[in-house]
């Protein structure tokens, strides 16, 4: 009820307002005149023009001048907020607003009384019209947290009966679960005794924005994605409770500033790209995102942002400083939130891996690009380069990168597994010193001379020597996408084989020699290899040099015969040892630094042979293939090759 002031001029007051009040009872008319929503034109004799109904931030001073210029700040979906509902009058001077009217000595100061209903109207649906409480343009998902305020109707409308004790101001607490680009508070009031009612909307419109964006991707974080190939990122606008706000229809954008790679370093400019489309029912996605290099990326909080949703909403919140510019904060500062919507937590992308690899083997046989004897060094190397889908090197793939691909090596003969005679070094991704450089993204073993393993202890009665006429090294990728193998296009294979080469188990055969007592004797030296069933002359051998240095000829008798030729280079696998005339004896060519033969009465150890011939063995008195080659040397009168010879005249 309105307040009364003492006095004795009741009749004068009634007469003073008689022209305005007519024949109706003074009390009812005065109360109705200030009843929410003040629907009638007012009473000029009291200076009242019409009702003033508004909503504003809590604690805002009751306006006294026209225009009221009250403010409602930007709100965050899902977060409770309070507003003051103001009820007063516009005065007939067209410049003043009052929260009450002094009705004279008898009735005193009168404040708004009566029944009211309140809801929010979505102006983007209503076309800017205020409409009526509870209509189809009502903002859904608004709940009430105000004591003494009840529900009204089947929607989100609220009911409250003003008693006058509010003195024209009532604080309401609301929670809006959905986003609305442009909304107003809508107030309906009526006085049943006078049959008057009206609807009014707040002077200021405002935006209810999503709380934040949640981000997901396909493939998901932790999964792999080929670098340089498009993948999809999806953004959901959510309220403070994490529920999707279907009313959001904005378009998020992404800035790569601050995006970091697996080393927590900034990514290269232009290496990460993509864009989102406009959200539908609160969900925006983009299917053209890609990253050009290796590893997972970390997208920091605030990198995915919509700085246009509030600005372009029509609410005027940005221009009117009703939110904090260039901020996506959900923490009140001066009663305001940030104007922008952003991801509030960092996001990890899928782990980007190479789209394809090129693999190149280097394999160089010991002899004339044709073969290598077991025990001789074979030069082997491999280079594997990682590329993205655009054909660019992945320069940030280095030795410390997490989840880097792995490669395994196997050794084959005609495609079948072998006993692995080649000891391969340890290929590795280039060091982190190559990170970001043109030399990054390479897995390599420099071409290295690697000794092949010669099986020991083989003999005719034991296992046959190996015969690898089509030896290859195979590299297999864990990513299974080698597209170029040794310079030749491949259809995304998992492995790449080196060129085939020959690995041969060789022996050096020394044939018996004979000559006259005064002439040098010639002993044939033949390189043989095991062809899978027998030893045959290695006609490919044009490389082996057998040195006949001092001490390399062992003899069963002394003095040891001396060599006329200091060495022999095999031609089509055949060479010769020329020994000066001496006594008959068994001789051997020492293949190593010390004797390893069955020839007795040998001299002291001599110098070893060169590395190539030093690995060849021979068959002598031993049953194994690992003894020095030996043969019988004879000097004297040579027998005629003829059984009968006759002279004919």
Instruction: State pLDDT tens for residues 143-174.
Output: 999 988 988 877 889 999 999 999 999 999 99
pLDDT band at 604 (very low <50, low <70, confident <90, very high): low
Is position 146 within any domain? yes
pLDDT above 60 (res 325): yes
Residues 337 and 372 grouped into a single domain: no
Domain containing 399 — which CATH number? 2.60.40
**Residue 638 and residue 272: Cα distance in Å, rounded?**
89
Q: Which residues span the domain enclosing 243?
A: 210-352
Task: Kindly report which listed range (5-9, 146-150, 486-490, 630-634) carries the lowest average pLDDT score.
Answer: 5-9
Res. 28: pLDDT tops 60? no
For residue 393, pLDDT beyond 70: yes
Q: Which of the listed residues 331, 352, 373 is the one where a domain comes to its end?
A: 352
User: Residue 11: its pLDDT value, please?
Assistant: 24
Tell me how far apart the alpha carbons of residues 173 and 57 are, in angstroms, rounded to a whole number. 11
pLDDT score, position 8: 31
Percent of the chain surpassing pLDDT 90:
63
Residue 16 has pLDDT above 50, yes or no: no
- CA-to-CA distance for 481 and 407, rounded, in angstroms? 12
Mean pLDDT in residue range 5-14: 29
pLDDT at 48: 86
pLDDT reading at 375 higher than 90: no
Mean pLDDT of 346-362: 97
User: Which of 562-566, 573-577, 594-598 reaches the highest mean pLDDT?
Assistant: 573-577
What's residue 639's pLDDT?
64
**Which of 217-221, 306-310, 406-410, 558-562 is the least confident region?**
558-562
* pLDDT for residue 608 is more than 60: no
The angle subtended at Cα 552 by Cα 548 and Cα 554, nearest 5°, is 125
Could you tell me if residue 649 is inside a domain?
no
Angle 288-294-299 (CA atoms, 0-180°, nearest 5)?
Answer: 60
- Same domain as 133, residue 34: yes
Query: Given this model, what pLDDT does residue 462 score?
Result: 76
For 36-59, what is the mean pLDDT?
A: 71
Task: Please say which residue of 190, 206, 222 terminates a domain.
Answer: 206
Residue 56: which residues within 8 A CB-CB, separation 6 or more? 70, 71, 72, 83, 84, 86, 202, 204
Kindly state whether residues 24 and 124 are assigned to the same domain.
yes
Distance (Å, rounded) from C-alpha 101 to C-alpha 360? Answer: 95
Mark whether 89 and 227 lie in a shared domain.
no
The pLDDT value recorded for residue 26 is 37
Instruction: Round to the nearest angstrom and report the end-to-end CA distance of the chain.
Output: 172
- The answer, yes or no, to whether residue 351 has pLDDT greater than 50, is yes
Bigger pLDDT: 626 vs 214: 214
Q: Are residues 79 and 179 in the same domain?
A: yes
Query: Does any domain span residue 3?
Result: no
Residue 642's pLDDT is 63
- Domain membership of residue 339 (yes or no) is yes
Residue 606 scores a pLDDT above 70: no
Note whether 78 and 26 are same-domain residues: yes
Report the pLDDT value the prediction gives residue 303, as an integer from 0 to 100: 98
Q: What is the pLDDT of residue 219?
A: 98
Helical H runs in 22-97? 26-33
Contact between residue 226 and residue 295 where contact means Cβ atoms under 8 Å apart: no
Whether 2 is in a domain gets the answer no
pLDDT at 169: 97
> Angle 239-244-248 (CA atoms, 0-180°, nearest 5)?
85
What is the pLDDT, as a whole number, of residue 21? Answer: 38
pLDDT (0 to 100) of residue 619: 44
Same-domain pairing of 256 and 176? no
Q: Is residue 643 part of a domain?
A: no
580 closest CA partner among 613, 555, 610, 614 = 555
Only one residue has tokens 């001029």, namely 9
Measured CA to CA in angstroms, residue 120 lies from 19, 112, 146 at distances of 39, 21, 15
Residue 153 lies in a domain: yes
The phi and psi torsions of 627 (rounded to 5 degrees) equal: -95, 160
Q: What is the mean pLDDT of residues 28-32?
A: 40
Encoded tokens for 104: 């004279």
Give the per-residue pLDDT at 43.
55
- Looking at the structure, tell me whether residues 401 and 473 fall in a common domain: yes
Share of the chain above pLDDT 70, in %: 86
- Full DSSP string of 244-270: B-TT-----EE--TT-B-TTS-BPPTT
The confidence score (pLDDT) of residue 3 equals 31
Question: What is the Cβ-side half-sphere exposure of residue 384, based on CA atoms within 13 angstroms?
Answer: 31
- Tell me what pLDDT residue 550 has: 67
> What is the reported pLDDT for 593?
67
The verdict on 413 and 311 lying in the same domain is no
347 plus 358 within the same structural domain = no
pLDDT of residue 617: 54
Decide if 642 is inside a domain.
Answer: no
pTM: 0.80
E strand or H helix that includes residue 66? none
Same domain, 536 and 550: yes
Mean pLDDT of 52-70: 96
What is the domain count for the chain? 4
Range with the lowest mean pLDDT among 62-66, 123-127, 259-263, 454-458?
A: 454-458
Which comes out higher in pLDDT, residue 645 or 540?
Answer: 540
Domain-ending residue, one of 504, 521, 544: 504
Mean pLDDT over the full length of the chain: 86
- Is 585's pLDDT higher than 70? yes
Q: What mean pLDDT comes out for the span 265-269?
A: 97
Averaged over 261-280, what is the pLDDT?
98
CA nearest to 271, candidates 392, 103, 127, 398: 392
pLDDT computed for residue 601 by the predictor:
52
pLDDT at position 583, please? 87
Residue 549 has pLDDT above 80, yes or no: no
Query: Residue 456: pLDDT band by 50, 70, 90 thresholds?
Result: confident
Q: For residue 423, give the nearest of 477, 369, 374, 458 by alpha carbon.
A: 374
Quick one: pLDDT at residue 25? 39
Per the DSSP assignment, residues forming a β-bridge with 338 are 324
190 and 227 co-located in one domain: no
The answer to which of 40-44, 218-222, 256-260 has the lowest mean pLDDT is: 40-44
Query: How far lies 537's CA from each of 406, 504, 526, in Å?
Result: 42, 11, 7
């Amino acid at each position: 009820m309105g307040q009364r002031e003492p006095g004795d001029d009741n009749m004068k007051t009634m007469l003073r307002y008689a022209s305005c009040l007519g024949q109706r009872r003074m009390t009812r008319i005065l109360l109705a005149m200030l009843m929410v929503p003040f629907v009638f034109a007012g009473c000029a004799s009291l200076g009242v023009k019409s009702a003033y109904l508004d909503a504003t931030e809590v604690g805002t001073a009751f306006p006294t001048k026209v225009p009221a210029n009250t403010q409602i700040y930007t709100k965050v979906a899902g977060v409770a907020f309070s507003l003051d509902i103001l009820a007063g009058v516009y005065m007939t001077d067209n410049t003043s607003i009052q929260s009450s009217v002094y009705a004279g000595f008898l009735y005193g100061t009168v404040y708004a009384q009566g029944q009211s209903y309140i809801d929010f109207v979505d102006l983007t649906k209503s076309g800017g019209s205020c409409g009526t409480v509870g209509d189809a343009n009502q903002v859904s998902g608004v709940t009430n947290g105000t004591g003494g305020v009840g529900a009204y109707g089947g929607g989100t409308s609220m009911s409250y009966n003003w008693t006058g004790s509010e003195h024209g101001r009532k604080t309401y607490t609301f929670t809006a679960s959905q986003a609305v680009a442009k909304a107003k508070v809508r107030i309906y009031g009526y006085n049943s005794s006078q049959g008057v009612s009206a609807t009014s909307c707040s002077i200021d419109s405002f935006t209810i924005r999503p709380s934040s964006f949640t981000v997901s991707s396909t493939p998901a974080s932790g999964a792999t994605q080929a670098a340089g190939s498009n993948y999809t990122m999806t953004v959901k606008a959510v309220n403070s409770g994490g529920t999707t706000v279907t009313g959001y229809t904005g378009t998020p954008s992404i800035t790569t500033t601050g995006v970091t790679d697996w080393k927590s370093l900034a990514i290269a400019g232009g290496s990460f790209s993509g864009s989102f489309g406009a959200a539908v029912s609160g969900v925006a996605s983009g299917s053209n995102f890609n990253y050009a290099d290796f590893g997972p990326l970390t997208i920091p909080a605030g990198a995915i942002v919509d700085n246009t949703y509030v600005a372009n909403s029509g609410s005027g919140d940005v221009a009117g400083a009703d939110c904090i510019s260039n901020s996506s904060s959900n923490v009140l500062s001066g009663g305001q939130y940030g104007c922008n919507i952003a991801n509030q937590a960092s996001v990890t992308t899928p782990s980007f891996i190479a789209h394809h690899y090129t693999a190149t083997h280097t394999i160089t046989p010991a002899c004339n690009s044709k073969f290598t004897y077991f025990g001789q060094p074979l030069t082997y190397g491999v280079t594997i380069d990682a590329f993205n889908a655009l054909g660019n090197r992945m320069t940030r793939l280095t030795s410390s990168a997490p989840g880097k691909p792995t490669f395994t090596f196997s050794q084959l003969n005609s495609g079948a597994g072998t006993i692995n005679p080649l000891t391969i070094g340890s290929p590795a991704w280039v060091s982190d010193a190559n990170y970001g450089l043109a030399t990054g993204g390479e897995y390599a073993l420099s071409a290295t001379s690697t000794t092949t393993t010669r099986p020991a202890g083989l003999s005719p009665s034991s296992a046959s020597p190996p015969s690898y006429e089509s030896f290859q090294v195979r590299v297999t990728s864990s990513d299974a996408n080698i597209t170029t193998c040794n310079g030749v296009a491949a259809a995304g294979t998992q492995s790449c084989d080196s060129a085939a080469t020959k690995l041969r188990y060789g022996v050096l055969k020394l044939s018996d020699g004979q000559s006259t007592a005064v002439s040098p004797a010639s002993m044939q030296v033949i390189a043989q290899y095991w062809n899978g069933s027998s030893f045959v002359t290695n006609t490919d051998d044009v490389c082996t040099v057998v040195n006949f240095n001092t001490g390399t000829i062992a003899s069963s008798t002394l003095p040891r015969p001396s060599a006329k030729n200091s060495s022999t280079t095999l031609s089509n696998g055949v060479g010769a040892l020329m020994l000066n005339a001496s006594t008959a004896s068994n001789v051997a060519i020492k293949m190593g630094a010390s004797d390893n033969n069955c020839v007795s009465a040998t001299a002291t150890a001599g110098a070893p042979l060169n590395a190539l011939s030093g690995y060849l063995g021979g068959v002598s008195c031993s049953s194994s293939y690992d003894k020095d080659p030996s043969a019988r040397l004879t000097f004297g009168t040579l027998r005629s090759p003829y059984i009968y010879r006759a002279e004919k005249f």
